[in-house]
Amino acid sequence: MVKAIEALFNPRTIAIIGASRNPQKPGYQVLYNLKQKYKGKIYPVNPNADKILGLKAYPSILDIPSEVDLAVIVIPAEKVPKVAEECGRKGVKTLIVISGGFKEVGPKGAELEEQLVSIVKKYGMRLLGPNVVGVYVPKTGVNTTFINPERQGFPDHGPIAFLSQSGAFGIAILDWATMRGIGISKFVSLGNKADIDEADLLEYLIEDKDTRVITMYIEGVEKGKRFMEALKKTTPIKPVIALKSGRTEAGSRAIASHTGSLAGADKVYDAVFKQTGVIRAYGMEELFDMATALALQPPARGNRVAILTVGGGSGVMATDACIELGLNVPKLSESTEEKLRKILLPIASPHNPVDVTGSARDEHLVESVEVLMKSGEVDIIIWIPYFMVPGISEQLVEKFIERVRKVNKELDTPIPVIGAATGGTYTWKQASKAEKLGIPMYISVERAAKAAWALYKYGAWLKKNNVFNDYIEQFRKIIGY
Amino acid sequence: MVKAIEALFNPRTIAIIGASRNPQKPGYQVLYNLKQKYKGKIYPVNPNADKILGLKAYPSILDIPSEVDLAVIVIPAEKVPKVAEECGRKGVKTLIVISGGFKEVGPKGAELEEQLVSIVKKYGMRLLGPNVVGVYVPKTGVNTTFINPERQGFPDHGPIAFLSQSGAFGIAILDWATMRGIGISKFVSLGNKADIDEADLLEYLIEDKDTRVITMYIEGVEKGKRFMEALKKTTPIKPVIALKSGRTEAGSRAIASHTGSLAGADKVYDAVFKQTGVIRAYGMEELFDMATALALQPPARGNRVAILTVGGGSGVMATDACIELGLNVPKLSESTEEKLRKILLPIASPHNPVDVTGSARDEHLVESVEVLMKSGEVDIIIWIPYFMVPGISEQLVEKFIERVRKVNKELDTPIPVIGAATGGTYTWKQASKAEKLGIPMYISVERAAKAAWALYKYGAWLKKNNVFNDYIEQFRKIIGY
């Protein structure tokens, strides 16, 4: 199995069956996108062309002179079984069937899909799809999507895997993630899931060194038991965050028209997620806000949040948001407040939320975060820097993060730090720098609070499974403190 | 009163008392920012300078040769009363006291503040502040903020007024709004509210032709009855959306350290908002998401939403989000579905959510929206265009919006249309174009759903007050259909 999935993400050779010279056709665009960064050998298959996009084309997969790890199929549904048969004879490991026209269109398509699956099984191949956008792996350059890069961004390599039952939504997320600066390890569009499904991919991703957090968009899961078992194995090792739609009756009805999945009662999914430690997201921004926090920061040992802010109003709003999520924003001890008082300006507030005020300078934030991290009184820090105020320098981010790393190296349990930066271009230049250096930043305090909640939630799950310290030990190696 | 507020937003002349030649001081930056776009006469007041930033400086306000409508005071708190007295003698209409060091710092500051207020009253002046960032009015160029434009964006003129009890948060919002392309009619930082408060500004904004929607960030309101009365007068004419912090006990405690406002029990505010038709936001993105919808689109006559999507998954998620907010995503009638079936591709779904699929072309969206708007079966449209798919042209936005406007001109009650566009750079180039042409677009379906909810909620309030048709009539004049 692992080999078949490996062939999906890191094949030595790829055949594109249905490669086209016509830029209006997906068979052209798939080849075009794949050519951009993939370093392995690409074989276009098309009986009516000698060359496509500068590559020699072959009449059939059987004519290709070398082994083929992965075949991407982009031809009308009714012709797919014959070609799959040829792939089997050729010894192809894994198929991606992009073509639609199978189970999702009705009984006739379902029959075709069954036929396809039996061929795949006969030859011991594995199949992603049909009816998929395919995969995108920045590190290996494997990209079987068919949207032109003029209209579509492809994110850089990063620690988050994304599995999507909706191809279009997957594409939109890749595009959005590029703009937002979120890196992706592997993207997989699941389509009809005739063979490879979430469980298969989870089993692969548990071991995948490039993936720290697994995110997914799900409409419905057929093999529930197998899914649960895969989740149980995964979540003590890597966080899984799921956006499951069809939460409402009307939503479920819409799923029936979309992927034809049996959405099932939402409370069943909810129970499964709770039992298996999956963190549930209720929207796409939330999904990736939480994933970014878990990718960049260690999970929290508890729910006590310290808020360190340059703007008083933001401190109040962050407090509200934390409390409403079940986090705690505790009063600090006399001695901690005293230490802060010595650092801060007289007009600042050493209570939690700690308000350094708009008159603050870099050192007020840098010294305060150390006091808070070392206090033993809080488990998570949310900092709200207001990069535009005059006393804050352009080097704050570097200074602050250096200090956070230094203190975390000294502590038995590292304290996660995340930030909120409401603002525009200059602010986000600074905030993006912070993210590159490992502190996730959010445009609003409400979103930062939700990300903090995910760090708490996942920490609690690890503790429940008695693997909190193991996870932290691993995470420290990755993160370097 | 109106004249005094007018002097805040549209003064003929402004004196900056405490104008400075030192770029590190707020008294420099206020003058610098004001000079950028303000066309009236500016008088720097500084006894130790002849010229500041190329403008002749005066030793005191009494030395200025012409009338002064607005005096902006940026000097240490203890010197403010004397200067206020001079402003009174000079016949200044309105003061903005930026300086901090008043009520917010303790009893001594409170005494100073009382002294200031009595001087203001004695001379029949009005006072914004103390302890404020001031005002920003793109149309007149009045800008008394003191953040350097290198670090801070200032949004263009637009239909949304924003009142903020937190100056720093206000600044951050202006900066964010610039990046997000949200236009502002008036921004006011309220500070200690020693004189001018929310009620005064609401009374002004009711009549203000440049303001269509009023947004506010509040920590606590002292004159509750007056506030309520002002709200009651405003909301049948213009929507008011409030972000009130201190919703939790810990949040209220944080307010005490911040503005010193009596936050009061949150349920009291909640009751006031319900009674007066104020729409409550629970975060800054939500605040402006809803404001943008109400600024650009008419309120909805009911809660029935049609979803028109290129991506099936997004349709499902939008349905969930709408239902969870109490909106309805009704099944369409046989005859409407039949009309849609004739327009759409065979693989498309004519049920609500209407899924035109990723193979759609422009006309599928353009023709469908007309059918939905004319059906009489829905009150709001959420369209989800997926600009990246190959069949959608770069002219879709223009074609779609032209059709929406045409149909709305024919209908007795216009149907509001808003959109969701999850994606990156290309998508947002198209989405921004849509916003400029009057259809607000959101990065996620969840946020679009919340904006749709606001259109429903405000429509229901107008109906309850028997002014729905009056409002629509006015709105049609502004919007041109």
Residue (of A201, A144, A261, A289) closest to A5 by Cα position: A201
Task: Name residue A403's beta-bridge partners.
Answer: none
B450/B12 Cα distance (integer angstroms) = 41
pLDDT greater than 80 at residue B382: yes
A163/A154 Cα distance (integer angstroms) = 15
Q: Kindly indicate the confidence band of residue A144, based on its pLDDT and cuts at 50, 70 and 90.
A: very high
pLDDT greater than 80 at residue B167: yes
Residue-level pLDDT at A259:
72
Instruction: Dig out the tokens for A333 from the structure.
Output: 């001890």
**A353 vs B contacts (CB less than 8 Å):** 254, 257
Residue-level pLDDT at B104:
87
Residue-level pLDDT at B481:
80
Q: Kindly indicate the confidence band of residue B368, based on its pLDDT and cuts at 50, 70 and 90.
A: very high
Residues A241 and A294: beta-carbon distance below 8 Å? yes
pLDDT greater than 70 at residue A14: yes
Residues 6 or more apart whose Cβ sits within 8 Å of residue A329: A304, A305, A306, A307, A319, A322, A323, A352, A353, B250, B254
**B146 vs A contacts (CB less than 8 Å):** 390
Q: Kindly indicate the confidence band of residue A262, based on its pLDDT and cuts at 50, 70 and 90.
A: low
**A29 vs B contacts (CB less than 8 Å):** 390
Using left for φ > 0, alpha for ψ between -120 and 50, and beta otherwise, residue A223 falls in beta
| Domain B2-293 shares a fold with domain B298-479 | yes
**Which of A63-67, A112-116, B79-83, B266-270 comes out lowest in average pLDDT?**
B266-270
pLDDT in tens, B410-424: 999 999 999 999 999
A316: closest CA of chain B, how far (Å): 5
Find the residue in A nearest to B218 (Cα). A313
CB pairs under 8 A between A and B: 269
Instruction: Dig out the tokens for A144 from the structure.
Output: 């079987």
pLDDT in tens, B317-346: 999 999 999 999 999 999 999 999 999 999
Q: Which of B147, B244, B280, B320 to mutate to test the interface with A (most CBs of A within 10 A)?
A: B320
Instruction: Dig out the tokens for B362 from the structure.
Output: 């422009």
Residue B285 in 3-state DSSP?
A: helix
Find the residue in A nearest to B352 (Cα). A254
Residue-level pLDDT at B105:
85
Q: Which residue has the higher pLDDT, A253 or A92?
A: A92
B394: closest CA of chain A, how far (Å): 10
**B349 vs A contacts (CB less than 8 Å):** 257-258
User: Rounded to 5 degrees, what are φ and ψ at A229?
Assistant: -65, -40
User: Rounded to 5 degrees, what are φ and ψ at B445?
Assistant: -65, -30
pLDDT greater than 70 at residue A263: no
B298-479 carries CATH number 3.40.50.261: yes
Residue boundaries of the structural domains of chain B: 2-293, 298-479
Query: Helices A445-464 and A284-296 meet at what angle, rounded to 10?
Result: 60
C-alpha to C-alpha distances, A305 to A355, A376, A389, A410, B78, nearest whole angstrom: 14, 11, 24, 20, 38
- Contact (CB<8Å) A250/B319: yes
- Contact (CB<8Å) A285/B258: no
Which residues in B393-432 are b (16+ Cβ under 10 Å) and which e?
Answer: eeebbeebbebbbebbeeeebbbbbbbbbbbbebbbebbe
Please state, rounded to an integer, the average pLDDT across all residues of chain B: 96
**A317 vs B contacts (CB less than 8 Å):** 169, 243, 245, 251, 283-284
B229/B218 Cα distance (integer angstroms) = 17
Q: Is the ipTM of this complex over 0.85?
A: yes
Instruction: Dig out the tokens for A171 from the structure.
Output: 């594409």
Q: Kindly indicate the confidence band of residue A105, based on its pLDDT and cuts at 50, 70 and 90.
A: confident
A467: closest CA of chain B, how far (Å): 32
CATH class of B2-293: alpha beta
pLDDT in tens, A441-469: 999 999 999 999 999 999 999 999 999 99
B164/B133 Cα distance (integer angstroms) = 10
B154: closest CA of chain A, how far (Å): 10
Residue-level pLDDT at A480:
85
Residue-level pLDDT at A440:
98
Residue-level pLDDT at B116:
98
Q: Kindly indicate the confidence band of residue B262, based on its pLDDT and cuts at 50, 70 and 90.
A: low
Match 């006091």 to its residue by tokens. A371
Of B147, B247, B319, the CB nearest to A254: B319
Structure-derived torsion over alpha carbons of residues A104, A109, A110, A114, reported in degrees to the nearest 10:
-130
User: How confident is the model over B459-479, as a mean pLDDT?
Assistant: 96
What CATH homologous superfamily does A299-479 map to? Succinyl-CoA synthetase domains (3.40.50.261)
B324/B294 Cα distance (integer angstroms) = 21
- Contact (CB<8Å) A312/B257: yes
- Contact (CB<8Å) B168/A321: no
- Contact (CB<8Å) B446/A387: no
Residues A141 and A194: beta-carbon distance below 8 Å? no
**A24 vs B contacts (CB less than 8 Å):** 390
pLDDT in tens, A390-436: 999 999 999 999 999 999 999 999 999 999 999 999 999 999 999 99
Instruction: Dig out the tokens for B277 from the structure.
Output: 């038709």
A129/B87 Cα distance (integer angstroms) = 76
Sign of the torsion angle spanned by Cα atoms B362, B368, B371, B374: negative
Residue (of A131, A179, A139, A130) closest to A159 by Cα position: A139
- H-assigned helices in B92-160: 107-122
pLDDT in tens, B191-211: 999 999 999 999 999 999 999
**B355 vs A contacts (CB less than 8 Å):** 257-258
Helix (H) or strand (E) holding B164: strand B157-164
pLDDT greater than 90 at residue B89: yes
Residue-level pLDDT at B263:
60
